[in-house]
């Protein structure tokens, strides 16, 4: 009798565990990526700032005037549905501080910079610092719980030495 009771309890616990494990997998599978082009794939084009995209007015001033008077950021090659942001250098900043970064795709032969897919987006400055990133605005329901994750690679020297003299 005791062994039958133990088997029934064991079966109940096993079924309960299977139920809860299957529910957690279903919950995780229901997640939707809200970003457009989250993998930074496809063609890259020169960024043309406009009032709807430029987070700061100086972003237009940092770019060169193009055809028709629009500013064109030729050094900011961006994937579809993304735009760059950066803090521009002020007159009181040292020459190495807050430089406009160069944005471009990362692809072969630098496959170590691509985490998944064929491309990644990279931005950098040579022997300088920057405060910058990528922006995309997406609709989010009120009071939504969101999870954000990113994979990145950072390096700070042109050589593979143990220490750098550059900022």
Structure tokens at 74: 């030729």
Confidence of residue 81 (pLDDT cuts 50, 70, 90): very high
Which one has a higher pLDDT value, 51 or 136?
136
DSSP conformation class of 135: E
Q: Which residue has the higher pLDDT, 110 or 53?
A: 110
| Top mean-pLDDT range of 10-24, 28-42, 54-68, 153-167 | 28-42
How far, CA to CA in Å, does 2 sit from each of 9, 72, 114? 11, 80, 59
Write out the residue range of the structural domain in which residue 123 sits: 44-135
pLDDT given for residue 114 in this prediction = 84
The tally of domains found in the chain comes to 1
- DSSP code, position 113: G
pLDDT score recorded for residue 68: 58
Q: Is 21 part of any domain?
A: no
Q: Is residue 161 part of a domain?
A: no
d(C-alpha 130, C-alpha 88), whole Å? 8
């Amino acid at each position: 009798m005791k062994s039958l009771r133990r088997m029934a309890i064991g079966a109940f616990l096993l079924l309960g565990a299977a139920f809860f494990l299957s529910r957690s997998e279903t919950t995780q599978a229901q997640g939707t990526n809200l970003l457009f082009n989250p993998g930074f794939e496809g063609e890259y084009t020169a960024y043309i700032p406009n009032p709807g995209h430029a987070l700061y007015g100086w972003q237009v001033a940092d770019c060169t005037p193009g055809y028709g008077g629009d500013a064109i950021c030729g050094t900011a090659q961006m994937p579809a549905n993304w735009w760059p942001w950066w803090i521009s250098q002020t007159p009181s900043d040292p020459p190495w501080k807050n430089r406009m970064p160069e944005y471009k795709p990362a692809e072969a032969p630098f496959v170590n910079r691509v985490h998944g897919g064929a491309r990644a987006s990279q931005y950098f400055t040579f022997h300088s610092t920057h405060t910058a990133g990528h922006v995309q605005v997406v609709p989010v329901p009120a009071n939504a719980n969101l999870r954000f994750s990113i994979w990145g690679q950072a390096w700070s020297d042109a050589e593979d030495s143990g220490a750098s003299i550059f900022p």
